[in-house]
Amino acid sequence: MRQAPIYVTGMGIVSALGADCRSTLMALLTRRSGVGQLRFLQTSHTEFPVGEVKLTNEAMMRYLDISENETTTRTSLMGMMAVREALQTAKLTTTAPDFKQKIALVSGTTVGGMDKSEQYYLDFLSNDTHNEYIATHDCGACTEMIADYFGIFSAVDTISTACSSAANAILKGAMLLREGRTDIAIVGGCECITKFHLNGFNTLMILDRELCRPFDATRAGLNLGEGAAYLVLETERTARERGIEPLCILSGFANTCDAYHQTASSPDGEGAYLAMTQALASAKLQPDDISYINAHGTGTLNNDLTEAHAISRVFGNRIPPFSSTKAFTGHTTSAAGSIEAVISILALQNGFIPVNLNFTTPMPELPITPATDEYARKPLRHVLTNSFGFGGNDTALIFSAP
């Protein structure tokens, strides 16, 4: 039985590349990375390049018209900005008196409000001057702050599966639509860089002190990033009633968990392989139908080799152009799935392959090479994007031209 299509009718993004879709597109086309030296996070570990959003919290609050006395977190502020753009591009005017659609918000994050709780932790122990931030630590509190800012959501949910969180939020929103539990779903994720975040990845010894080089033989780790991105998902019926044209279709999706290791991918990329093959099956597509793969491609020794193995298993000797865009944005962890979904949709809309920055030397274990040609113009029909989380929680999404 043919399933009703899930339309993407709006999207918004905030990352190291800029604070909207247009600036993101321009950065991708001109090969301008947003990764550089730390500016805003107060830490002694300034030796690590990061993909910071080039805005202070105060600047985001002014943009959003939020009082300086309001209790907010950096994660939630970036989320508000991205949701705002997504609603605008979807022409979702929810203030009209005849607006009757149910709207769900599904947001992925793992850091949540950790930026404030680590900043005021000693105050929590010794005095009551910043106790209002105790409640903002929880991941769900971040989603609630975004929901409260807009005041339009009939259902709110938070997903926390590490680096596949935002992709799983997109997947869950699609399922809510398919099950008739909502009319419109705002889905994605948000994540800021924190000291705990940075130090944790440093302890795992997977941070690169140079610019990251996904799928390169000399790769030495990832560069952390931060940001937010959200999509507006709705059914064909709702989009037609609203008179909105789709940007694309979310045609396939799948989540798997190989549970091989707490942090490492399985050597043969079993979870990634299953996610991609099941996403293709859900979209009723063959591997040859995929025009481009936006790979998870963190720049770590383990991920890139295992993902390359999985891609080779799925596509054989007919691998489509693929690249990791994390050298542009940094690894935005829980927000990566939606940030890279927006990047994939921009590629689909504008007919180009985002390049794999900083690549020079193929991995000796596998004879596959990511896309490196500048302005690689190509009509795209179906785009696959991967997001893999700790514990082997792997998600693949397919976006197709309408």
Q: What is the band of 32 on the pLDDT scale with cuts at 50, 70, 90?
A: very high
How far is residue 244's CA from residue 93's CA, in Å, rounded to a whole number?
12
Question: 338 vs 141, 252, 365, 367, CA distance in Å?
Answer: 19, 15, 30, 29
Q: Per the residue annotation, which of 137, 197, 309, 331 is the catalytic one?
A: 331
Residue 398 · residue 285 · CB < 8 Å? yes
Q: Per the residue annotation, which of 163, 190, 192, 248 is the catalytic one?
A: 163
What is the 8-class DSSP label of residue 41?
S
Q: What is the pLDDT of residue 376?
A: 72
Query: Residue 116 pLDDT more than 70?
Result: yes
Query: Is 382 marked active-site?
Result: no
Query: Residue 388 pLDDT more than 60?
Result: yes
Element (H, E) at 248: strand 248-257
How far is residue 380's CA from residue 388's CA, in Å, rounded to a whole number?
24
Q: What is the band of 171 on the pLDDT scale with cuts at 50, 70, 90?
A: very high
Q: What is the band of 260 on the pLDDT scale with cuts at 50, 70, 90?
A: low
Query: Residue 375 pLDDT more than 80?
Result: no
Q: What is the pLDDT of residue 263?
A: 55
Q: Per the residue annotation, which of 137, 197, 296, 309 is the catalytic one?
A: 296
* Of 263 and 57, more confident: 57
- List all residues 6 or more positions away from 323 whose beta carbon is below 8 Å from its beta carbon: 214, 292, 293, 294, 295, 297, 353, 354, 355, 356, 370, 371
Residue 327 · residue 357 · CB < 8 Å? yes
What is the 8-class DSSP label of residue 284?
T
Query: Is 296 marked active-site?
Result: yes
Tens-digit pLDDT profile for residues 187-230:
999 999 999 889 888 888 999 999 999 999 999 999 999 999 99
Query: Is 212 marked active-site?
Result: no
How far is residue 253's CA from residue 175's CA, in Å, rounded to a whole number?
10
Element (H, E) at 383: strand 382-389
Tens-digit pLDDT profile for residues 266-306:
677 788 999 999 999 999 999 999 999 999 999 999 889 99
Q: What is the pLDDT of residue 99?
A: 59
Tens-digit pLDDT profile for residues 53-102:
999 999 999 999 999 889 999 999 999 999 999 999 999 976 654 456 89
User: What is the percent of the chain where pLDDT is above 70?
Assistant: 93
Query: Residue 1 pLDDT more than 60?
Result: no
Q: What is the band of 118 on the pLDDT scale with cuts at 50, 70, 90?
A: confident
* Residue type (1 letter), 384: L
Tens-digit pLDDT profile for residues 33-44:
999 999 888 888
Q: What is the pLDDT of residue 175?
A: 96
Question: 85 vs 11, 81, 316, CA distance in Å?
Answer: 7, 6, 39
